[in-house]
Amino acid sequence: MARLNPTSQASTGLTGPQREALEALLSGSSVPEAAKLVGRNRTTVWKWLQEPAFYQALKEGESTQMGQVSRALGAAGRGAVETLVSIKDDPEVPAAVRARAASDLLARLLPVREMVALEERLSALEKAQDRGPNGY
């Protein structure tokens, strides 16, 4: 099961069954499955989802998971790029396969550049907003 951050602001006020239900939800269980695992009615778990602390803890857990997935994909992505480059550069690989590897590399370059540029622009906007309307 996924583990919650026990020092999380949102998860500190939760009961034991709420924490267990969150862990079940973060592990991929449906609401009825999570309810069954913690010995509660599914309506209870649905109600917990309406509570700000429970919902916030769930969102924090999901955010943590997405960060982990993103890092794993980034690491795998480097290997995938290296594989495509080695195929593209290998003279013993048929020309059509090398051309496809080159095409795949180029096709992925622009979206990655656009995403990086967008993240930089968003970061600059957030910093400007934090400084206030006069730039302070």
Whether 82 is in a domain gets the answer: no
Do both 59 and 108 map to the same domain? no
How high does pLDDT run on average in the chain? 89
Residue range of the domain that includes 56:
1-76
The reported pLDDT for the residue numbered 136 is 64
The reported pLDDT for the residue numbered 11 is 62
Reading the block at residue 12, the tokens are 């500190």
Do both 65 and 101 map to the same domain? no
Q: Are 7 and 25 in contact (CB under 8 A)?
A: no
| pLDDT tens digit sequence for 102-111 | 999 989 888 8
Do both 67 and 97 map to the same domain? no
Confidence of residue 22 (pLDDT cuts 50, 70, 90): very high
Do both 101 and 63 map to the same domain? no
The reported pLDDT for the residue numbered 7 is 47
The reported pLDDT for the residue numbered 64 is 93
The structural domain count of the chain equals 2
Q: Give the helix ranges, DSSP H, for the chain.
A: 16-26, 31-38, 42-50, 52-89, 95-131
Confidence of residue 112 (pLDDT cuts 50, 70, 90): confident
SS3 21: helix
| pLDDT tens digit sequence for 32-77 | 999 999 999 999 999 999 999 999 999 999 999 999 998 998 888 8
**What's at 104, amino acid-wise?**
D
The reported pLDDT for the residue numbered 119 is 92
